[in-house]
Amino acid sequence: MSILAQSASKRIMDSAASDNTYYENLEDDREVGTGKSKVQETSGRASSSTTFVWKILGFSVILTTLVCCMLYLFVFTRSTGKVLHISDLHYDPLYKSNALNHRSCACNMVEKQNCTASDTVLYGRVGCDAPLKLIETAFESAKSVIANPDFIVFTGDAIRHHSSVIKGALPDKLISLFRTISNLLTSYFGSTVVVTQAFGNDDFQKNYFFNTSKNCDQPLLRDVLPVFQRGMPDLAKVDTNMFTCGGFYSVSVSSKLTVIVLNTVLYSVRHNPKMSNAGQVEDPMGQFAWFDETLAKLQQDNIFVWIVGHIAPGYESYAMEPMWPNVYTRKYVSIVTKYARIVKAQFFGHEHLNTYRLFESGTNVPSPIIISGSISPIFCNAPSYRVIEYDKSTYDILDFVSYGSDVGEDNWSLRYRFSSEFDIYNGLSNTEMRKLTDRMRNDETLLKKYRMRKGDNDKMPYPQCGTKNDPADKNSELCAIEHLEQDAFEECVSNRI
Ligand SMILES: [Zn+2]
């Protein structure tokens, strides 16, 4: 386009130059009295002026068209939306800032021997969940980098581990903790921003607990609904029946995008109490059927979808063990594959690590599973949140920027931008992330960088956090990224050795 503009410009300049020469010659002729008539002079001058005006007009049209094209490209293909993604806050109201660096002393309500008040740490410790002060500083930092997010993605675990040590009746004590976090979000981001919040395994009365035998009689879900509704100002767009029954729901966040929030605790290998026909139940609480029906309708209406959940399918990053029984993983993969055209993003948490999972190339699912780090530093990861950048016309994920603070400090800063850190400049698609994984197989420096960014703490792993001294072997780690299903994962590990 600039070559066209340059050539048009050159033509105008050339013709303007020749016109000037003509006038100069005319003046010269007059001076020397060559006898040209005034009629001839006037006629020549008028014709030349008309040509000049037409050329200028032509140039203006070309220029205007170019500017319009560039504006169109900028506005309709380059417009970037921004979403705040937070995960695994694990708010601990019992955190003590002046106990020893030991989980049983610093994080539980019962003081034990060996605790002293000499070591004051306000913003959280390795091995502990997050004090309110840490969550406040995280939100304050987020507010300073993204004051008005398009909406907020919250991939679960608002409440600390082992919440049974907190006194109080159920479900009220949990609801009061949910309310504290919800009010805090409102105080920083206002009351109109939509919060798409999933339930994590620690958000229920016991870890991984969801009593499916009670069907839709779920007191916690029923009573916590008003708290979640604060984050969904447009109630008409929210399916509250599914929320109060199974803890899953969908919310329309724009005319072109709906967020489906799943309760994936139902699919965890650690889910309890065990279902009477454990391992055979194909669809706990009817969530898969609802997921399929909801996607079918959205596809019919040409509406894009982002999926938000807590525990992702596939293998976890610590011991490389499956997080869902394979039967559920296969079901999830088949549904997402069926609606691949509209599923533009899949966000999960739970691992407290920055990582991702891929779909097999043959599925044509364009979006990978993107797993976020946590605000709780319990597993020695640096507290973090991220800003997701997406294309506002296609809702594809373009990039994310991770912000973090050192454990125990309030020094939030930009830690890394994913695209420039890992040389991915065409968006975070399944295809591009697969290329990154291939590069990591052959580039030890890149793999090391990925491992460091997983917890964003170069001191990881700490043995005292229950993480291994040595990182998982390279094959297991990369095969877990590349394959969600058991057979494919095992085949990958055995073939690569
Ligand atoms: Zn968690």
The rounded Å distance from CA 52 to ligand 1 centre is 72
Residue 9 has φ and ψ, to the nearest 5°, of -60, -40
The rounded Å distance from CA 447 to ligand 1 centre is 25
Q: What angle do CA 251, 371, 429 make, to 5 degrees?
A: 85
Closest CA to 55 of 4, 13, 5, 1: 13
Q: What is the pLDDT of residue 23?
A: 33
The rounded Å distance from CA 349 to ligand 1 centre is 7
Amino acid letter, residue 415? R
Could you give the CA distance from residue 41 to residue 32 in angstroms, rounded to a whole number?
A: 15
In sequence order, the β-bridge partners of residue 391 are 80
Q: 274 with 213: CB under 8 angstroms?
A: no
Residue ranges in 207-325 assigned as alpha helix (H): 219-230, 240-246, 287-300
Closest CA to 355 of 315, 390, 392: 315
Residue ranges in 121-269 assigned as alpha helix (H): 132-145, 172-189, 219-230, 240-246
The rounded Å distance from CA 379 to ligand 1 centre is 9
Domain boundaries along the sequence of the chain: 16-77, 85-495
Q: What is the pLDDT of residue 311?
A: 98
The rounded Å distance from CA 310 to ligand 1 centre is 8
The rounded Å distance from CA 278 to ligand 1 centre is 24
The rounded Å distance from CA 204 to ligand 1 centre is 12
The rounded Å distance from CA 169 to ligand 1 centre is 23
The rounded Å distance from CA 224 to ligand 1 centre is 19
The rounded Å distance from CA 162 to ligand 1 centre is 11
The rounded Å distance from CA 375 to ligand 1 centre is 9
The rounded Å distance from CA 311 to ligand 1 centre is 9
The rounded Å distance from CA 185 to ligand 1 centre is 19
The rounded Å distance from CA 155 to ligand 1 centre is 9
The rounded Å distance from CA 16 to ligand 1 centre is 72
The rounded Å distance from CA 90 to ligand 1 centre is 7
**Could you read off the pLDDT tens digit of each residue along the chain, which spans 497 residues?**
333 334 434 433 343 333 333 333 333 333 333 334 343 444 445 555 666 666 766 767 667 666 655 555 544 456 999 999 999 999 999 888 875 555 455 565 444 445 455 667 889 887 789 999 999 999 999 999 999 999 999 999 999 998 988 889 999 999 999 999 999 999 999 988 999 999 999 999 999 999 999 999 999 999 999 999 877 766 656 778 899 999 999 999 999 999 999 999 999 999 999 876 655 668 999 999 999 999 999 999 999 999 999 999 999 988 889 999 999 999 999 999 999 999 999 999 999 999 999 999 888 899 999 999 999 998 888 999 999 999 999 999 999 999 999 988 999 999 999 999 999 999 999 999 999 999 999 999 999 999 889 988 766 655 555 555 555 688 999 999 999 999 999 999 998 75
Q: 304 with 255: CB under 8 angstroms?
A: no
Helix (H, G, I), strand (E, B) or coil at 348: strand
End-to-end Cα separation, the chain, in angstroms: 52
The rounded Å distance from CA 395 to ligand 1 centre is 27
CA atoms within 13 A on the CB side of 448: 5
The rounded Å distance from CA 123 to ligand 1 centre is 18
The rounded Å distance from CA 398 to ligand 1 centre is 26
The rounded Å distance from CA 98 to ligand 1 centre is 24
Q: What angle do CA 471, 428, 262 make, to 5 degrees?
A: 80
Give the tokens for residue 441.
Answer: 């197989």
The rounded Å distance from CA 94 to ligand 1 centre is 17
The rounded Å distance from CA 280 to ligand 1 centre is 27
The rounded Å distance from CA 88 to ligand 1 centre is 4
Closest CA to 454 of 320, 386, 318, 353: 353
Query: 419 vs 39, 135, 308, 389, CA distance in Å?
Result: 70, 27, 22, 11
The rounded Å distance from CA 89 to ligand 1 centre is 7
Residue 416 has φ and ψ, to the nearest 5°, of -165, 155
The rounded Å distance from CA 231 to ligand 1 centre is 21
The rounded Å distance from CA 334 to ligand 1 centre is 27
Query: 63 vs 3, 58, 67, 136, 233, CA distance in Å?
Result: 12, 9, 6, 51, 45
The rounded Å distance from CA 203 to ligand 1 centre is 9
pTM of the model: 0.82
Could you give the CA distance from residue 128 to residue 109 in angstroms, rounded to a whole number?
A: 12
The rounded Å distance from CA 350 to ligand 1 centre is 4
Q: What is the pLDDT of residue 378?
A: 87
